[in-house]
Each structure stands twice: as structure tokens, then as C-alpha cells.
Structure 1
Amino acid sequence: MFDFGIALPVLGLLVVVVFLGLHIAVALAACSLIGLYIILGSFDITMMTFASTAFQGLRGYTFAALPLFMIMGEFISRSGAAQDLYVGINRALKGVVGRLALATVLGNAVFAFLTGVSIAAAAAFTRIAYPQMRAMGYDRGTALGVIAGSSCLGMLIPPSNLMILWAILVEESIGRLFLAGIIPGLMLATLFVIYVMSNAYFRPHLYGEGISVTPPPEPEAQSLGAAAIPSVADLDSITSKDILISTVCMGGLIASVLGGIWFGAFTATEAAGVGSLLALAFAIVVKGLRLPDVAAGILQVAKTAAPLLIMILMALLYSRTLALTGIGNSIEDFFSSGSIPPWAVLVFMVCIWFLLGMLIDSKSIMLLTVPIFAPLGELIGYNPIAFAIIGILAIEAGILTPPFGLIVYTVKAAAADDEVSTLRIFAAATPYWICLLIVLTAVAIWPGLATYIGDITFNKG
């Protein structure tokens, strides 16, 4: 039975302490322990529950997928492959209006297959693409807008860290979620390309191809996430041989990881291990990455992954606390009455994700909401896989939403250009936000867009 006297204070306290600035992991742990103590009435039993939840979570096989995919992305990033791919796409589009913007979108789509981290992609492509676009006379806001918008592909196209996190929280197949993101991800990339080409055709002054201007000073190399890329002095020095080698190797890596999952050769966690080894071999043997850089990459992933795994454990504990309050059964009884149409419930959840996206990061949003929203989505009739894609799209749209969209602030910081305001970047990124909503709506209306590939893959036997 639902206990308002416990559940509501636990939920309310969590919201308050998070918005007061307490770290999300600490907030989840504190609220969970308080709730468990109130429910169980024993400090010893509370600590035993805490310990058993942590043990069960840490021994979970799927937990290894997250740091392994992050290591794969880190090695690829440090190898310089993203620079090679960007330059290759840019040269292939020679003569096309807005080609640098198109290269950024397509480069982000390929880069998403290798990293799955939107913030890291935003930082990397700001340092790679923005100086080039400014040198060609691009409008500052337009240039940073396309970088911020297309970076969202990193959380939809597999291997996405948000997909892994969602799968862990709801005990769903990581492989199914990866495959579910392929069609929506390609749809989103296509919409981005259509918008860029249309905008460049009708407003060519924003895409000043051929206008020679002095580029802004290149920002210093910095680490902004698991897939940060060192600063690039001159992309023109990249040869056709470099591009060909990187393209072939990266194509092979993507085919090995996703193909292995698709054809059932290995699980998503095993695919992460295979991808990490292949990425390490490519970075060292082909690109000449030095061992100190390898060690630095592993350390960077450890610094990023360790706090994230702790947050996941605390979220699992919080989910158990909510379950003991009976809130899940209460929500099921309320929405089973049919008094509220399913579409209204979905709109409500999407609005909550938008609002949270203005204030906190994607992973924190997921940790706070998925334990409650995922069962609710299934209750109103959505396939769990399709609902996960809807949720990820909504969360990604949230971090593009003013006034505190984190991707926009990331590109603003990485660009180090005082002549472009944050508001101007938000305005330029709005069309990409609309594209996210279009794909979200399409998946909500036709869930098969997310489930088709997974169904034919896992049911073919």
C-alpha cells in the first residue's frame, strides 16, 4: 500500500537537495537511507539493504559495458581519427554550399558511433570545426549552433552512454537499446542535413564559403569528458592517406561492434571489450599513440566512470526505496482508471524532462526520473524499448533548452569567443531542437521505428 507519509517526503527531499546543489549521488544516498530507515525502523537492516543493493549492482555483468565503451571512445579521440573523418567529409563535399556545417553534422553522426557522449562531441567539434568555419566567414552563432545541435546525435546513435544507463536502471537489454537507436538516429541526422542544406541555400550569407577572414585564436587543449580531443593546429596537414586509413579502420570498428551485436556473436558488454581492444590497437599501431597518452586516457575514463557508477548504485538504492513505499502500485492504480489519456501522460513526462534539462545534466535527469517514468510508460501502453528512445530524445532536447542547456554552454566555453553570446547560440540551435521533437513525435506515433531492428535481430531464431 502506498504510504504518502514516506514516499512524498522522500521524493520532495530529493528534489530540494538536488536543486540546492548537493551532488546527485549524495542526494540519492541520503534520501534513500532516510526513507529506508523510516520504512524498516532499524538502522542495521537499513545498512544491510544498502550493502546488498550495492553488491548486486556491482556484480552485474552489464556494469562493465559503460567504462569499456568510454575507453573505446577515449582511445579513438586521442588518436585523432575524428579530425581525419571531419576533414575527409569536408573535402568530399567540396563545392556544396554549407559544406563545413554538413561535415560537422555527418562527422558527429560517425563520431557518435565511436563515443556516445554528446558533451564530449560538442567540445571536440568546437575545437576542430569552429576555427575552420570562422576562417571561411561563417556566422558565429550559426557555426556554434550546428555544433551544439548535431552533438545530440551522440546520445541516440549507439553506443550511447545514456542507453547503457537506461538499460541498467530498468534491467533491459543494452543490445536491444543500441539497435533501437539506429533508425531514429539516422532520421535525426537526415533532418539535420536537410535543415543545413535548406538554410544554406536560402541564407547563404550565414555560410560564407570562400570568404577569407582571420580565424579566432584556437582554444587550448582541454579535457571535457571521456572523449576529449587535443587541440588541432592545422587540419590542412591531414593527408588523403590519413583519411583513408582512419575511415577504413573506423568503419571496421563500427562494423565489428554493432555487427557483432546484430548477428549475435557477442553481447553488448562483450562488444564493448572487443571495441576497446580494437580501438587501442588502432590508436597505437596505426596512429602512433604513445603509452603515456594511453595511460592518461585510461585515467581520464576512470575519473569520469567511477563517479557515474557510484551514482548508478545510489539510483538503484533509491529505486528500491520507492518500491518499498508502494508508489509504483499507487501510480499503476491511478493511471489504470483511464481517466487520463495516454498521450497526456506522455506529454507530461516529456515536459518534466524538458524542465529538468534546463537545470541539470542528462545522467542526473535519468537517475531521478527513469525509476518512476519507465514503469509508467509501459503502463500507458508503450513498448519499453520505444519508450526508452522517447525518453532519451526528450532528455537530449532538454539539454539544448534555454536558459541552462549544457551543450550550449559547453560549445560556448570550448570556442573561447567573446563575440558570440550564449543567447545567440541558443537561437541558432533551436531548429535542431525542433528536429529532435519531430523524431520524438514520430517514435511516439510509430514505436516500430525503434523496435523493428531489435525485433528482427533477437527473434530471427
Structure 2
Amino acid sequence: MLLMMMVLLLALFLMLGSGVWVAFTLLGLGWLGISQFTSIPVGDVMASDVWSASYSWELTALPMFIWMGEILFRSRLAEDMFTGLSPWMQRIPGRLLHTNVVGCGLFAAVSGSSAATCATMGKMTIPELTRRGYDQHLILGTLAGSATLGLLIPPSIILIVFAVATDQSIARLFMAGVFPGLMLISLFAAYLMFWSWRNPSRVPPADERTTLGEKIRRSRKLIPMMGLIVGVIGSIYAGLASPTEAAAVGVVLSLVLARFNGALNWSSFMAAAMGTVRTSCMISFILAGASFLTAAMGFTRLPGELASWIGTMDLSPVMLLAALTLFFIILGCFLDGISVVVLTTAIMLPMVEAAGIDLIWFGIYLVIVVEMSQITPPVGFNLFVLQGITGKNILQIARAALPFFFLMLLGVVLISLFPQIVTYLPDAMSNR
């Protein structure tokens, strides 16, 4: 087993380090494992496994949610959201900085993508908050940290990937992500209030007091987005639609919204469609490679032997999760979130199941840890997005995001101490 692990790890780092696509790396590792450590015909396994991973009905939801996010990315949704939220934030400690946190949470609930959330909200709020004199360090930190909510708050693309890779229910995972997402929003908002209390001189004064009627009038701009969130997530929770059907509803509603606010034309429609095709093909290709690697690992019996070896160490579930957290954070420094999930699923699941850890809970735990890797250099995608928008040094942005990294680590601790934060809604959904 030790020789096999060393060979496969060496091959993994060589291929990734030389710039080989993640999908080809997964296929190559699977091919190497079967051809060198088993007597099974590798071509037959690859053909059947790649094909079976490509026609999964659950995968239909993936391009639909991506398309919905692409359409909304090109609409004026973020601008309307800022207009609707800002009057309510003026009297809260931290003031308009909270629009980054709440706005990213709301946009995450309709885009499903961390990068799209970061880019859309960043283009809108960075110039406006900078013009008003807010602390640049905190503007970047709140955006980098809050945009990661796109990975957790449903509909989350990475949760669909995890569900397909582990044969779990997409609907249950979506429901499991709701309360942890709200928990992280609350932690971020509480940190902003604390920071503002400690540094009152660095927070600009509030604008002139707005009447209740004016606040309500501006809040009407939030109605379309809230309707979209309720239409997609509510239909799943109420049992009226499967995730795939809800995704189709979301696409139709987003097209209607984009048409009504004047953002939909032939050019934007084709740009959204082509963006969807590129992203969906990339993820599907990675999933096909991951499926083959999973099969290859099964034939080599490496995951089972590794799980047995770890079992002999008599690690408690807490120690196992601590070790896995460190492992995923390090791995996330070099790979994107989806690649982390598909690369580790085959090896990690046997030991997670052997430790008696619920897979729905583990999926949410994994996504939060992957969220943390989105703001860690050298491969933190949210850092790259903000660097492209602002032109600032990536290490400067990473330092700004560091408090939010530790807040997400606190979130991991909280869901470990109180797993009901994750499991309550899925269990309630099953008992309906």
C-alpha cells in the first residue's frame, strides 16, 4: 500500500505541477492505478465509467443552475440589491459594509457560484464604498469572505458535485446548507459590528436619516430577487419540485427578470449560454475523471486499506476531523474547490463512514473548509477576482480576508459542537 500511495502521490504532483488539466490528471491517476497495481483491463473500466458518469439525471441540474447564475451575472440585480439594502444598513455599526455581507448572501442564493458572487458584488460595491470613505482593507475582506457563501448557500454548484460523487440527495444537501450559511452571515456581521465599535473613527458618518416610507420604496427593488429565491429553494423544500425541476424554473424566472430590467438582449443571452457551456463541460469532464478514479481506487483497494490503517490509529471523530481540516486547507491552497472534492472523495469516504460521521453533515463541513481555501494564496479564486477588479497585490487582499478565514474556522467548530445546525432541515424534510 505504501508503494502504491507514493507512486500515485508523485504522479499527482507531477501532473498538476506541470499544468495538466485536473480532468486529465484524474484519468491519468486512475489509469496508472489499474494498469500498474491490478490485472483488470483498464480500457474497459474507463469506457464504462466515463460513460456512466456522463448521463446521470442528477447532473441535469448543474448546467441549469450555472445558466441561471450567468444570466443574473449580466443583469442589474446587484445594483438593485445595493439600492434596496443600503437604507436599512445606515444605523447598524459598520453601516454600508454590511451590504457586502448581506448582498453576497442574497446573490449567492441565486447564483450558486463564489466567483460570480465576488465579481458581481465587487464591481458594484467597491467603487461606491470607496467613494464614501470606508476602510479599503475591510471592503476587500468582507467581499472576499462573504463571496465564499456562493459555495454553501443553495443552489450551490459544489453541493451538486458532492451529491453526485457520493450518491447523496441534492435536495437534502441544499436544505443542510441553509442554516450554516445564515450562521456564517451572522458571524461576519457580528465581526463588522465589533470592528466598528473598536475603530469608530474609521467608519464614515451615516447619511441623512431616511424615512420609513423611503426605505420601503427602495426595498421594492429586492422583490424580484426574493421571489426568485423563494421560487427555487421554496419549491424544493415544499416538495413541489426536484432540484432539477427547480433549476429549470430558476432559469425561466431569471430570463424574465433580465428581460424586465432591460439586461437581456441577444448578445447577453449568447454570452450567458456560452459561459454555461464552458463551465458545465469543465465540471462534467472533472466528474467523469473523478468517477474513473473512484472505480480505480476501488479496484486497487487503497481506500479500504487506508481506512483500516487510520482505524488502527484509534483516532476519535474529533481528531479525524481536525486532521482532515488541516489536510483540506493545505490542498485548497493549490486546487479549486470542485477539484478538492472530486480528488478526495474516493479516499476519504470509507474512513468518514467508518468513523460514523453523517455524509450530509460531512458534505457541509467539506464545503465550509473549501470556502476557506477560496481566500488562501496561492490559488484562492476570490483573491484572483478581487485582484482583477482592484489591481492590488494578492497578498494584501489575502491579509484583508484573514479574519474571515478564522470566522469560517469558527463556523466549522460550531457545526461540530452543534451538528443540528446542519441536520435539522434535512431531517425535517425527510419527516414530512
**Is TM more than 0.5 here?**
yes
Change in Cα spacing, 1:57 to 1:88, as seen in structure 2 (3 Å) is same
Q: Following TM superposition, by how much is the alpha carbon of 1:414 offset from its aligned partner in structure 2, in angstroms? A: 1.3
- Which ranges in structure 2 are unaligned for 5 or more consecutive residues? 208-213
Deviation at 1:243, TM superposition (A): 5.3
Match of 1:430 in 2: 402
Q: What are the residue-to-residue correspondences of 1:32-431 with 2, within 5 Å? A: 32-39=30-37, 41=39, 45-209=41-205, 244=219, 246-337=221-312, 339-416=314-391, 418=392, 421-431=393-403
Q: 8 Å contact 1:100–1:129 — kept in the other structure?
A: no
Note if 1:18 corresponds to 2:16.
yes
Which residue of the partner structure matches residue 28 of structure 2?
A: 30
Contact 1:142 1:206 in 2 (8 A): no
Q: Quick one: distance in 2 between partners of 1:97 and 1:80?
A: 28
The alignment's C-alpha RMSD in Å is 2.2
Tell me by how many angstroms 1:40 deviates: 5.0
Report if aligned partners of 2:383, 2:394 keep a CA contact under 8 Å in 1. yes
Amino acid at match of 2:36: I
Counting helix residues as a fraction of each chain, which structure ranks higher?
A: 2
Conserved in 2, the CA contact under 8 Å of 1:84 and 1:242?
no
2: CA distance, partners of 1:381 / 1:69: 32
Any idea what SS the aligned residue of 1:114 has? helix
* TM-score using structure 1 length: 0.87
State whether residues 73 and 116 of structure 2, in contact with CA within 8 Å, keep that contact through their aligned partners in structure 1. no
CA distance in 2, matches of 1:256, 1:37: 49
Gaps of 5+ in 1: 212-238
Question: Retained in 2: the 8 A contact 1:156–1:185?
Answer: yes
**Higher mean displacement: 338-347 or 128-137:** 338-347
The separation in 1 between residues aligned to 2:217 and 2:139, in whole angstroms, is 26
Equivalent in the alignment of 2:211: none
Alpha-carbon distance in structure 2 between the residues aligned to 1:103 and 1:428: 17
- Deviation string 1:98-157 (CA, Å, 9 cap, x unpaired) is 322101100001001001211221122221111111101122222111111111111111
CA displacement 1:362-412 (0-9 Å, x = unmatched): 112112112222332222121101111111111111222245433223212
Measured at CA, do residues 38 and 437 of structure 1 come closer, stay the same or move farther in structure 2, by a change above 3 Å? same
> Which moved further from structure 2: 332-341 or 345-354?
332-341
How far, CA to CA, are the matches of 1:176 and 1:411 in structure 2?
Answer: 32
The amino acid of 1:442's aligned partner reads L
The answer to whether the Cα contact below 8 Å between 2:38 and 2:300 also exists between their aligned partners in 1 is: no
> What residue in structure 2 maps to residue 217 of structure 1?
none
Aligned amino acid, residue 102 of structure 1: H
Question: SS of 2:204's equivalent?
Answer: coil
Q: Give the drift of 1:241.
A: 10
1:106 alignment partner, SS class? helix
